[in-house]
Amino acid sequence: MPICLPQVARRAQARALLIACALLQIAAADETRYAAERKALGAEIQRAAAQTAYATGRARFSARVMKAMDAVPRHRFVPTGSVANAYENRPLAIGHGQTISQPYIVALMTELLEPKSGDVMLEVGTGSGYQAAVLSRLVTRVQTIEIIAPLADSATARLRELGYDNVQVKSGDGYYGWPDHAPYDGIIVTAAANSIPPPLIAQLKPGGRMVIPVGAPFHTQDLILLRKDPDGKVTTTSVLPVAFVPLTGSR
């Protein structure tokens, strides 16, 4: 019997379709699993938030912030080797001596910035772009500057691919901020410098807030919250992310 070519082709096609479906199913299963892990992580963050209420002044993080945390696929912001750990509540290395922060700290910093829908925010230290992505779900626009060129490039590509089109990445020196889009409702300086650049404070709107995590890589111990009141007067506060009191018997 002569081989019926169209039939073979059809069979191959069907097989290819099956494989594609299977792959899609795997991918979909992955996505479902990641979504579930993200939910669990969200719950863990809220538990930690409740414990640190005394220090942060918030019994729980706002629904808006938590929704934004839930909307951003952290596994797309970590190196391939760390995807399995993407939804663990811990910082991860992203290459170039940089890290992606612990999710709880990201949520806390976002919360401290009090983002509102019409806001324009500046980030100094893009890193993987994760923090910018979370902020972008909450404000109108995020301008972000990265001092390490390859990181700026990869973050730009990643954010574009994932459709975060209200985030703009620039590679360069963060010291002078990004005057073209100033003033900002909020600024986050994740590239913990040993002094806080005066030009950044100048680019903060009256009533605006700035957050600066302090500590070694993997060891964020303290967040500095800088507030500019409507008259332009600046006050700063140390916010402890950990519900820890150093004196026994006091709270």
Which residue out of 101, 128, 136, 154 is catalytically annotated? 101
* By the rule CB under 8 A, 53 interacts with other proteins: no
**Residue 16 in contact with other proteins, rule: CB under 8 A:** no
Which residues ranging from 169 to 188 are in contact with other proteins (CB under 8 A)? Answer: 171-173, 175
Please name the residues in contact with 126: beta carbons below 8 A apart, sequence gap of 6 or more: 132, 144, 145, 146, 151, 152, 155, 169
Token pair for 111: 């919360």
Cα(31)–Cα(10) distance, integer angstroms = 30
Closest distance between other proteins and the C-beta of residue 165, in Å?
25
CB 174 within 8 A of CB 197: yes
* Residue in 37, 58, 64, 147 binding other proteins, rule: CB under 8 A: 147
Q: Catalytic site residue 101?
A: yes
Q: What's the min distance (Å) between Cβ of 194 and other proteins?
A: 4
Is residue 233 near other proteins by the rule CB under 8 A? no
At position 132, the amino acid (one-letter code) is: A
CB of 34 to other proteins, least distance (A): 20
Peptide bond into 197 cis (omega under 30): no
Quote the Cα angle for 129-132-133, to 5°. 85
What x-and-dash track marks residues 55-84 binding other proteins by CB under 8 A? x-----------------------------
Cβ neighbours of residue 130 closer than 8 Å, sequence gap 6 or more? 72, 74, 77, 100, 101, 106
242 lies in the site for other proteins, by CB under 8 A: yes
Of 14-22, 31-39, 168-176, 180-188, the segment contacting other proteins by CB under 8 A is 168-176
Active-site residues, by number, are 101
